[in-house]
Structures are given as structure tokens and as C-alpha cells.
Structure 1
């Protein structure tokens, strides 16, 4: 939250580059969701990096050597060796990103309390349950969110199916 304060870290960094925005990053309805999205992206960059790094390291080195011996360019190596090797991780990352964005709660709640334009479906559901004491309606909203996440995940899996080969 110190990062987004007026005259805070973000404003200081932007001032180094000659910009003097002096904006309410978490108070401006036009900027709050962009700011919260930036925090979310930064938060999950490490996990995504480790997933992709592991997938790339799992590709056998012999494939790279064979491609180089055959005279493949870097783009061809990426297109025909790396991209197919990391395709399951791309699919997993998309599923995690979409389901996470649909069910986001902690970042907007901690940083803004869910005020103004930073209200999310989950924050509204929790307010229904605990602030307005409508637990039945909140439970129904949670089930609807679950169904939406399952539907989006199912659609994504149908549009980008696994290309598993049976080696038996």
C-alpha cells in the first residue's frame, strides 16, 4: 500500500523518469483496478516463472542439439521444440489466471477494503453473508461463482485440448 500512496514509491520512481503524476492510485475509479491488477500480476509472477522454467528445463537437451545440428534457427527451435514442450504449462497458467481473476478477494479487500470500483463478486458475496446476514443468498452466489469457474475451465480445456500420446 506504501507503493501506491500519494508521493509514495510509485510516484518517486515515476519522478525519476520525469513524470510527476501525483495521482490517487487506489482512490481514482479509473486507476484502482489497473493498480490492483498490477499487484496481482506482480504477486503471481514468481509462480509462473518457476512453472515455465521447470517446463523448459524438462525438455531433453538432445532435442536442442539435434535441432542445432540440422541448422534450425532460434525461432524454429522455439516454435517446434520449446512451445510444444511448455504447452501444458501455458494451459495451466491460463486456467489459474482466469479462475483466480474470477474469484479474486484478498488483494482488493486488503488494499481498498472493497470500496468503490474495486468491488469484486467474492467481496460482495462475503458482504451478503456477514454484513447483511443473508447466508443463503451468499451461498447461492458462491455456487454460481463455482459454476462459472468450472464452465470457463471446461471451455478452455475444450478449446485447447491436451495432446497426450499413448506410448503403450
Structure 2
């Protein structure tokens, strides 16, 4: 696809976004897509109905768990390409992956990470800024978090597992 074809295809998206906002389903929406060096964006509505600011390219939204979908998609593309095996221990992919529970550290697989069954403490949040090394720093800092359950035994929502999956 060339940049002009990309722009034409993207042009179909804003009208749907505008319809969703007009119908009151959501107060505001912003979308950005990059194809090579070409970036297209569209924004509609307000950031918050209680303190409305117009949504634009500069508006910040709390992204919440939508990133887990993107991480899982990226991992599964690597699985399809034969670069990641879901059953392989994470420690084989990330040699510096370390947890306080060394037994769990050796057993946790990529599948455990994506299915919230790693057993790691899930609510672990530290701010390492926006640098290219932020995720690496986050995963390295996880060596101190507790192991709550044995890997693969209990499903428990696990944000921290997705830091590791994203790093892998």
C-alpha cells in the first residue's frame, strides 16, 4: 500500500468515529495510525463530560488495559513467525528475568503471562518515565515482587505479567 492509498483508507474512519460521539455512546475519541512515515489522526468530542476539553491530537487519555490486547497481538504474531513458543519459560527469552521466587521464575511461560496465570503479584506499578529503556527497567525491578500463587494454578488479573510479555 502506498501513502496515498493509506490516506484514502484512513479517510473512512473519522465518519464512524464522529457518528459514535454524536450518538452519545462515548464523550470523545481519538485515533492515530502510522504507515511508514505517514501519520493520520482524527479526534472528536470531549475528554470528560464533567470537565470537557475538546479531544485533539494532543489530548491524553488513560489507556487502561487496551494495551494488553496490543501486547497479546504482538506476541501471537511472533508465535506465528516461530520466534516465540507459548510453552517455553520466559527465562529462556529474557535471561535477566528475575523474581523473588526462583522456582516460579524458572516455570513461568509466555502462556502464563497472556492468560493471567503466572501467579505474580499483578498490581505492581512503578514509574520509569517514557524512555526507550522504561520497560526494561520495569521488568528488572520486578525481582522484588512476591509470588502470590504457583504458575498455572489460579487465574488472577496480572498487569505485571504484561510488562514481561511486552519486554519479551
When normalised by structure 1's length, the TM-score is: 0.28
Q: Which protein has the larger Cα radius of gyration, Structure 1 or Structure 2?
A: 1
Relative to total residues, which structure has the larger strand share, 1 or 2?
2
Relative to total residues, which structure has the larger helix share, 1 or 2?
1
When normalised by structure 2's length, the TM-score is: 0.28
